[in-house]
Structure 1
Amino acid sequence: MTLYGYFRSSTSYRTRIAMNLKGLDYDYIAVNLAQDEQLEAAFQSINPQGLVPVLQADDLLLYQSPAILEWLEDIYPDTPLLPKDAAGRMQVRALSAMIGCDIHPLNNRRVLQYLRHELSVDEEAVLAWCGRWMKEGFDALEKRLANDKTRGKFCYGNHPTFADCYLIPQVSSARRFKVDLSAYPNIVEIDTHCRTLKAFADADPMVQPDAP
């Protein structure tokens, strides 16, 4: 398998975590978003949407990280990242969607570049924009986590799930955009614990081959 990604891309990061948790080996091809390599013909032929990650498995090209994670779960079920019961799977998918649908898209590179270059928003206002939507999402997520009295050291239960694959990159992004996390002790606790695990540590942006 070959993973096309970018070291700082949250969606690439969550995919790396999932693949590491499942113990999968893969080649890595960096697509430099800072230099707009995703817009070049070579990558557009792989993914016309111009987004990472893309996972190539033999002749199959997979795109959109939620779909990739679901595919990995179907094809490599021995290390499950979803609970066995339907209610548990719903909870994990809902937690993941809170991050992947309601926080991340408002803070991804395309949106921030539009704010900077098309609307002439200064960097202080960009940080305020990021903080606004991350805090709103984290407020709700923190309450969900606090109310789950059966939860262990992860977002759900006692084992890492999709939700942790989504959360840790979002926390990393929040720190990069100088979001104060002191109001989110459960989120910080989960993040701290996950980062002690090799699968998460090896997926960290700053240890990727294309990191500066």
Structure 2
Amino acid sequence: ILPALPHGDTLHHQPSAPDVHGCVIHSFIHPKCRSSKRSLLEYCCIGIPMHIGENTILSNITLVTYSDFNQNILHLPSNLIMQTIPLNDELFATFAFDFHDNMKITYNTNDKILYFGQTLSTIAKKIHRHIDDLFDDENNKSLWTLKIFPVTKNPNESFEKTLKLILLNDFIMFEKQYVSIQEILKQRDISLTIQYRSNLINCT
């Protein structure tokens, strides 16, 4: 569990966001955002009102627009870890897991694997894939090798689609490519990550 941090211990939060607590590092935060004292936001650009729950880590995310946004505030569940990573060819992927997930434990059967309480059958329908095509390696079935994160052309779309995969029961995607965390780390573009973070540091 993340330690509770007083508001004064945050770094580079915007003073105009008085309800943002926890640890905030080099980030732009919408003034109506709310976060708990047990949360971490690093290198984020959040342009819409958002309620960030307990034990949540957001890293490298961009969310300045959110399609079909018809609520006063976007609620993120507690115990959430999300990070957007630039990939080769100027593409992006955002992975998300529960704070308590054991991502590398392997399973013999599909029915024992749950992703935010959803079965693999449900996830396969959401991303328009066959359940047998969800893993990098059929002999190594784990959350680490689960290919469910959409590859997109911009970080905002990447974060939004991964978040909807978690939050919406009737959400369906038709992306050309989905990747696992294992693949994301192999394909990540370090130079783009450094460039993005440098831009935020210079602005904050």
TM-score by length of 2: 0.28
Answer 1 or 2: higher relative contact order, Cα 8 Å, separation at least 6: 1
Q: More helix by proportion, 1 or 2? A: 1
TM-score by length of 1: 0.28
